[in-house]
Amino acid sequence: MASQTEAAVRPTTNKEKSTTNPLKSNVVVGSLLPVTLIIIWELASRGGFVEPHLLPAPTTVVEEVITMAQEGELWGHIWITLYRVFTGFLLGTGAAILLGAATGYIKIVERILDPMLQALRAIPSLAWVPLFILWLGIGETSKITLVAVGVFFPVYLNLTSGIQGVDRKLIEVGRMYHFTALQQIKRIILPASLPSFLVGLRSGLSLGWMFVVAAELLGASEGLGYLMVFGQNTSAPELVIASILLFAIFGKITDEILKRIQTRTLKWQDNMENAS
């Protein structure tokens, strides 16, 4: 029965694309500016145009990283920071899923819970720090809690709005099949709110990185944030820049992981990115 005209809309495969390899050329084009800037920076430092005790040359920064890595002290700092981000991320996401799902799905919970959470959201993140330190001490707990608070809100907000934004027309399809509430959630509401949830996860993660810096700047004895404070106190700008560099690298890697997950699970979405 399929007519010729309809069969003609069969989409072309993506294989044709890879011959031109847009990724490769994108990488080249995208690196042009930063590479040029780094070269200028290096030349300026070597030529003595900038004070090395304020802005050390890129090679000095890289050397610093390599030395610390070889001496082994760097790994401890990286590990503890990653541990704080991930534990906080997991806790914040877990709490956001529980509360966000309840708020999105059950009207009465929304009316009770949402106004309070929205009010708490208005508190600037750093305002929590003294309280958390007072309550939870200067150990890991207060830092992880701070990260979790940062992660919580974007995930919560996106999940709630994702659930509430599920197309009524799709829900009606489920009702035609007499789905139970649980089946509705599992088979329609969850997959339909997934895009919004993943957006929440990504902004949650980036806030998590921001909050871990805050936590480590304000009272830590190890971690990448602590290295920055240490570099500041010992007038070692290469240490500060190295820490910034490492934050950037790890932030980018973790975001890239989430982005890959997002692209893979949402390949059904009809949007610009998936246009063939």
Partner 1 sequence: MLAVDQVSRIFQGGKAGFKNVNLSLEKGEVVGVLGTSGCGKSTLLRVLSGLDENFEGEIKTEANDPKQAFGMMFQEPRLMPWLNVWENIVFGTGKKDKKQEAFELMKTVGLEGFENHYPKDLSGGMAQRAAIARSLLIRPEILLLDEPFSALDAFTKMQLQDLLLDIFEKHRTTTLLVTHDIDEALYLCDRVIIMRGQPGRIESQITVEAKRPRKRGDSYLAELKQDVLKELDFTKE
The answer for residues whose C-beta is within 8 angstroms of residue 170's C-beta and 6 or more apart is: 188, 192
Residue 51 engages partner 1 in binding (rule: CB under 8 A) = no
**Closest separation between CB of residue 13 and partner 1, Å?**
11
The answer for residues whose C-beta is within 8 angstroms of residue 231's C-beta and 6 or more apart is: 237, 238, 239, 240, 242, 243
DSSP per residue, 169-213? HHHHHHHHTT--HHHHIIIIIHHHHHHHHHHHHHHHHHHHHHHHH
Residue 15 engages partner 1 in binding (rule: CB under 8 A) = no
Q: How many residues bind partner 1 (CB under 8 A)?
A: 27
Residue 22 engages partner 1 in binding (rule: CB under 8 A) = no
Using CB under 8 A, pick the residue from 191, 235, 256, 257 that binds partner 1.
Answer: 191
Alpha-carbon distances of 18 from 11, 21, 24, 25, 174, rounded to whole Å = 16, 5, 10, 12, 40
**Binding residues for partner 1 restricted to 116-175, rule: CB under 8 A:** 169-170, 172-173, 175
The Cα–Cα gap between 35 and 212 comes to 29
Residue 185 engages partner 1 in binding (rule: CB under 8 A) = no
Alpha helices in 47-72 (DSSP H): 58-71
Using CB under 8 A, pick the residue from 59, 62, 125, 187 that binds partner 1.
Answer: 187
The Cα–Cα gap between 104 and 99 comes to 8
Using CB under 8 A, pick the residue from 31, 67, 232, 274 that binds partner 1.
Answer: 274
**Closest separation between CB of residue 52 and partner 1, Å?**
55
Residue 21 engages partner 1 in binding (rule: CB under 8 A) = no
Residue 268 engages partner 1 in binding (rule: CB under 8 A) = yes
Residue 3 engages partner 1 in binding (rule: CB under 8 A) = yes
- The two tokens of residue 213 are 């810096």
Residue 14 engages partner 1 in binding (rule: CB under 8 A) = no
With helix as H, strand as E and coil as C, how does 16-39 read? Answer: HHHCCCHHHHHHHHHHHHHHHHHH
Residue 270 engages partner 1 in binding (rule: CB under 8 A) = yes
Buried b (16+ CB within 10 A) or exposed e, 241-252: bbbbbbbeebbe
Using CB under 8 A, pick the residue from 133, 155, 159, 188 that binds partner 1.
Answer: 188
Residue 48 engages partner 1 in binding (rule: CB under 8 A) = no
Using CB under 8 A, pick the residue from 32, 54, 176, 182 that binds partner 1.
Answer: 176
Write out the residues near partner 1 by the rule CB under 8 A. 1-3, 5-6, 9-11, 169-170, 172-173, 175-178, 187-188, 191-192, 194, 267-270, 274, 276
